[in-house]
Amino acid sequence: MASIIGFYPAFLLRFTQNILAAIIYLSWSQLLLAGPTLWLSAWLWIVRKLLLLPLSLVTGVLSFVTTPAAERGRRRRTVLISGGSSVQAIHLARNFHCAGARVVVVELEGLFGLARFSTAVAAFHTVAAPKADRPEEYVRALCEIAEREGASFYVPVCSSSPAYFDALAKPTLELLGCSVFCPSPKDTAAMDDALELLRRCRADGLPAPAFYSVASRDDVLRLYENGSLRGSRFWLLTAERKVALPPTRHEFRASPIAAAVFNEAVTPRPTALVLQDVPGEQLVTCTTVRDGSVLANVTCRLQRGGGLVPEHAPDVDRWLEELFGRTLRRPMSGHFRLRLVRSAPNGAILPLGCRVGVPLPYICHTSVHPRLLVRPCRHFSRQASGPLVVPRGRYWMHEVVLEALRKPGVESVARFVGTVLDRREALFVYWDPLPYCAYYHVQLPAQQLLAFVQGRPGTGMAALARSTPPPVR
């Protein structure tokens, strides 16, 4: 009885502390970032317009004079991009805009339209979330937008809806004259299925971690009994859950979490995967593939404390060329986020899973990326394109501020100022400042507050780094 009585004051104290921590975080983050950043961004935008207006007029006249007559009347290509609430979509829109395209962005209803604030976006539309039992409604809405805007190219980001629905829309969109940069529905379903990917790798001689498909608790118990799970750590993965399997059969039997996985509705076919947890470096790729050829790839290493650091990885590049060039047999096009591990014992690259769509490491790409997807007209191909990866990677302003506050001092302040001034912020550019302000002062605080209320981990790069490995679809 005494323990029950003592529970409530302790609970109320912890709850009050959490509420105060959330309020203080939201308050100081807005005071430190919102005011100065908003005014600085606004003045940078105004100065740019005033200084570059005469120069742009002169450049426009020269461009008109030097452009062939057959090309002057050519209509700008319209590119349709999905996932308008994501940072990836902002980078895509900016890059296509700088390459001379007219950019239209679409997002699901009810999500924060981050791309709506970008000067690179000519039009923003919303559609209802796709439904598994009526996917034709999503396909029809997407096709209506593409036809209305005259889109000739569609790049699905797949950040807010599964890539499978965009793949279903591909045949109809291409009949309307809009090319779609994603695999077919069959290939999309196969790539989004970790079990199928591992099977294909093993069948064609690519190394893979130990894995087993299971459909019930009895299947997992048999793996314990025959010694398949001995000597290593394993994950139990389903479409919604990721559970670390205990080392012994007895502990698994007594585990309520593992038991709950198979108490949910299970289809007749195996829907769960037991995957070996291989010790080594965790890697994430942003891979651009066209007709089975790897056009570009950015490999990022997952840091232990969270965050993605781009690195030059020739072994990963060779593995990707082997995967898409030989193992998958049928040539496909699209963006892929592959989760890999570089095995600590022998340095072998092993797959953990894949997602079709534009992943967050895309922010390492520069304006060279649109030229890999679609060939621009000669008028725009004269633009210079920078390196594929930003040196030393990108950073997130809120994480830099938090790091400086955790370790106050002259050295941390100097590092903070130097980091801010080197123009590697993941979202800020001086000619398009509003998405930066909208993300840090509206979208991110709302996400953090919602995560706190629902008891979920915070959003951002650290949360992405902790989600290893991905669930199975």
| Residues in Cβ contact with 118 at an 8 Å cutoff, skipping those fewer than 6 apart | 90, 93, 94, 432, 434, 435
Strands 78-81 and 153-155 come out as parallel
According to the model, what pLDDT value does residue 21 have? 60
Query: Within 13 Å of residue 10, how many CA atoms lie on the same side as its CB?
Result: 6
Describe the strand order of the beta sheet including 334-343 as a list of residue ranges.
308-311, 293-302, 280-290, 334-343, 349-356
Distance CA 257, CA 243 (A): 8
Listed range (120-134, 244-258, 403-417) with the worst mean pLDDT:
403-417
Query: 426 or 65: which carries more pLDDT confidence?
Result: 426
According to the model, what pLDDT value does residue 15 have? 61
According to the model, what pLDDT value does residue 209 have? 95
Averaged over 23-34, what is the pLDDT? 53
Range(s) of the domain holding residue 336: 280-373
Shared-domain flag, residues 242 and 267:
yes
Averaged over 276-302, what is the pLDDT? 92
According to the model, what pLDDT value does residue 405 have? 73
Shared-domain flag, residues 118 and 154:
yes
Describe the strand order of the beta sheet including 78-81 as a list of residue ranges.
123-127, 102-108, 78-81, 153-155, 179-180
Residues forming beta bridges with residue 244, ordered by sequence position: 235
Q: Give the residue among 353, 370, 334 at the shortest CA–CA distance from 185.
A: 334
40: in domain: no
Percent of the chain scoring above 90 in pLDDT: 38
Distance CA 450, CA 466 (A): 19
305: in domain: yes
Shared-domain flag, residues 262 and 328:
no
Rg of the chain taking only CA atoms, in angstroms: 25
Structural contact between residues 280 and 446, judged by C-beta atoms closer than 8 angstroms: no
Element at 448 (helix H, strand E):
helix 444-454
Q: What CATH number does residue 289 fall under?
A: 3.30.470.20
Shared-domain flag, residues 123 and 83:
yes
36: in domain: no
Shared-domain flag, residues 235 and 285:
no
Q: Please say if the pLDDT value at position 12 is more than 70.
A: no
Distance CA 163, CA 171 (A): 14
**What are 295-351's pLDDT values in tens digits?**
889 998 888 766 778 888 999 999 999 999 876 767 899 999 999 999 988 899 999
**What are 45-89's pLDDT values in tens digits?**
555 555 555 655 654 554 455 444 544 444 578 999 999 999 999
According to the model, what pLDDT value does residue 22 have? 58
**What are 108-138's pLDDT values in tens digits?**
999 999 999 998 999 999 999 999 899 999 9
5: in domain: no
Quick one: 45 exposed, middle or buried, by C-beta within 10 A (0-12, 13-18, 19+)? middle
Listed range (100-114, 184-198, 314-328, 379-393) with the worst mean pLDDT:
379-393
Coil/strand/helix, residue 462: helix
According to the model, what pLDDT value does residue 266 have? 46
2-29 and 444-454 helices cross at what angle (nearest 10)?
180
Shared-domain flag, residues 156 and 229:
no
Q: Give the residue among 341, 346, 235 at the shortest CA–CA distance from 281.
A: 341
Shared-domain flag, residues 265 and 293:
no
**What are 342-378's pLDDT values in tens digits?**
998 889 999 999 999 998 888 777 767 787 887 644 4
Shared-domain flag, residues 353 and 266:
no
364: in domain: yes
Across 178-251, the runs of DSSP E, i.e. the strands, are 179-180, 211-214, 234-237, 242-244
Q: Please say if the pLDDT value at position 40 is more than 50.
A: yes
467: in domain: no
Element at 154 (helix H, strand E):
strand 153-155
Number of domains in the chain: 3
**What are 164-191's pLDDT values in tens digits?**
999 999 999 999 999 999 999 999 999 9
Structural contact between residues 284 and 338, judged by C-beta atoms closer than 8 angstroms: yes
63: in domain: no
| Residue after which a domain boundary falls, among 317, 342, 373 | 373
Residue 381 pLDDT grade (very low, low, confident, very high; cuts 50, 70, 90): very low
Structural contact between residues 247 and 310, judged by C-beta atoms closer than 8 angstroms: no
| Residue after which a domain boundary falls, among 322, 357, 373 | 373
Distance CA 188, CA 355 (A): 9
Q: Please say if the pLDDT value at position 406 is more than 70.
A: yes
Shared-domain flag, residues 108 and 165:
yes
Structural contact between residues 278 and 343, judged by C-beta atoms closer than 8 angstroms: yes
Shared-domain flag, residues 82 and 177:
yes
Structural contact between residues 150 and 124, judged by C-beta atoms closer than 8 angstroms: no
According to the model, what pLDDT value does residue 99 have? 82
> Residue 432 has which token pair?
């398009």
Element at 356 (helix H, strand E):
strand 349-356
Quick one: 411 exposed, middle or buried, by C-beta within 10 A (0-12, 13-18, 19+)? exposed
Shared-domain flag, residues 297 and 346:
yes
Contacts 24+ apart (CB under 8 A), 223-226: 223/274, 224/248, 224/249, 224/252, 225/249
Percent of the chain scoring above 70 in pLDDT: 70
Q: Please say if the pLDDT value at position 412 is more than 70.
A: yes
According to the model, what pLDDT value does residue 234 have? 93
| Residues in Cβ contact with 70 at an 8 Å cutoff, skipping those fewer than 6 apart | none
254: in domain: yes
Shared-domain flag, residues 270 and 296:
no
